[in-house]
Amino acid sequence: MIDVTMANRGTAQRPNGTQGKICQFKLVLLGESAVGKSSLVLRFVKGQFHEYQESTIGAAFLTQTVCLDETTVKFEIWDTAGQERYHSLAPMYYRGAQAAIVVYDITNQDTFMRATTWVKELQRQASPSIVIALAGNKADLGNKRVVEFEEAQAYAEENGLLFMETSAKTAMNVNDIFLAIAKKLPKNEQAGNASTSGQGRRLVESEGQKPATGNCCK
């Protein structure tokens, strides 16, 4: 299991090595409104849930860095408006995104249905290499569960998605899902080429410090 405190870790803890590289990725959050998209991100980036600090003025655009063995993955998380009326605008957001998390609420069947339409849309319209993760949020409300874990997992396997049930409230699986995405993302030289598809730019670290990968990623 991932250490929960990892969410509070800032960019200062990123591993700095002579050969270490930073890959920047754009990640979009999709899902019906009120499924907890922004809560999920706030938990991941700030470690907060309903105890907002003054400095946190918005949860629509946030960045977080995750350390993998040799690379530092910098997530740029773009939140999208979940309301049905803004659905048609979504392609503008996921254009050029390398990763997407489709969130649904396990206590609401409709949100799961919407999630499946999002997945279909992404597979059809987004970049072919996009990494899609399905997150069943509000897992702490197990007694009100409507969407069964097996049902969602079956769907995810069918479509080749990453799948986890998460809880922004208890921080369950929040970091895991981001880490899983980071691992799945291609970190080759093409990914660092910002010129063509707007993929994360690869920036060479100039500082020559010892890598400290061990303390952030297990």
Partner 1 sequence: MYSTKTPKYRIEESDLKCKNGCNYYGNAAWQGYCSVCHRLQQRALEEERVNNLILTHECENISNIENEHRRLDKSKSKMTAFSRLRKLPNKDQEPKVLLKEPNTCTLSDFQNIEKDSTDLLCIINKTTIGNDVIKKITHFLNEIMEYKDSKRIEKLSDITQTFYQNFSKSMEENSIYKDVSIDIKEKLLDYVEKHSMTLLYSILFCPHYTNDEEKDLDIQKRIRQLNWVSGKNLECKIHETSVEVRELVYTSMMDLLNMDAAKAPQEKLACIIHCCSNIFLLLQQSVGGPASADEFLPALIFIVLKANPARLKSNINFITRFCNASRLMTGEGGYYFTNLCCAISFIECLTAESLNMTKSDFNAYMSGERVPANTWESALMICENLHLVCENITLLQELKIENNEILQQAIELKEDIITFHHRITDKTTAAIKKSPLIISKTKKVQMNLDLDNEACLKLPTPLIPNVNEHQYTSQIDYNSLTNQHNLNPVSKKEYSTPSPTFDFSLFEDNYKLESVKGDDNTSLISLDLHSNSINNEFQIPEETASINLLDDLQNNSENLPSPLKPSTSMQQDYHGFSIQGSTIPIIPCNTGDLLFNSNSEEISNNYPNYC
The torsion of the CA quartet 1, 184, 149, 104, rounded to 10 degrees, works out to 110
Smallest distance, partner 1 to C-beta of residue 32, A: 9
Element (H, E) at 101: strand 99-105
**Rama region for 34: left / alpha / beta (φ>0; ψ in -120 to 50; rest):** left
Residue 96 engages partner 1 in binding (rule: CB under 8 A): yes
Stretch that binds partner 1, among 87-95, 109-117, 119-127, 138-146 (CB under 8 A): 87-95
Nearer to partner 1, 192 or 211 (CB): 192
- Does 198 sit near partner 1 (CB under 8 A)? yes
Q: Residue 82, interface with partner 1 (CB under 8 A)?
A: yes
Q: Is 95 or 145 the residue whose CB approaches partner 1 more closely?
A: 95
Among candidate residues 91, 19, 66, 60, the one with its CA nearest the CA of residue 185? 66
| In the complex, least distance from residue 34 CB atom to partner 1, rounded to whole angstroms | 7
- Mask of contacts with partner 1, 148-187, x by CB under 8 A? ----------------------------------------
The encoded tokens of residue 155 equal: 């769907």
Q: Which is nearer to partner 1, 38 or 213 (CB)?
A: 38
Give the side-chain half-sphere CA count within 13 A for 185. 33
Asked if 168 contacts 141 with a C-beta cutoff of 8 angstroms, the reply is no
* Identity of the residue, 96 or 211, whose beta carbon is nearer to partner 1 in the bound complex: 96
SS3 assignment, position 83: coil
Closest Cα partner for 206 from 22, 13, 23, 27? 22
Half-sphere exposure of 191 (CA within 13 A, CB side): 21
- Does residue 111 belong to the site contacting partner 1 (CB under 8 A)? no
Q: How far is the CB of 207 from partner 1 (least distance, A)?
A: 10
Residues in contact with 96: Cβ distance below 8 Å, sequence separation at least 6, in sequence order: 26, 127, 197, 198, 199
Could you tell me how many residues make up the chain? 218
Are 35 and 103 a contacting pair, CB within 8 Å? yes
| Span 13-72, contacts to partner 1 by CB under 8 A | 24, 26, 29, 33-34, 37-38, 42, 50, 52, 56-61
In the bound state with partner 1, the residue whose beta carbon lies nearer, of 42 and 67, is 42
**Contact set with partner 1 (CB under 8 A):** 24, 26, 29, 33-34, 37-38, 42, 50, 52, 56-61, 76, 78-83, 85-86, 88-89, 92-93, 96, 194-195, 198, 200-201, 203, 206
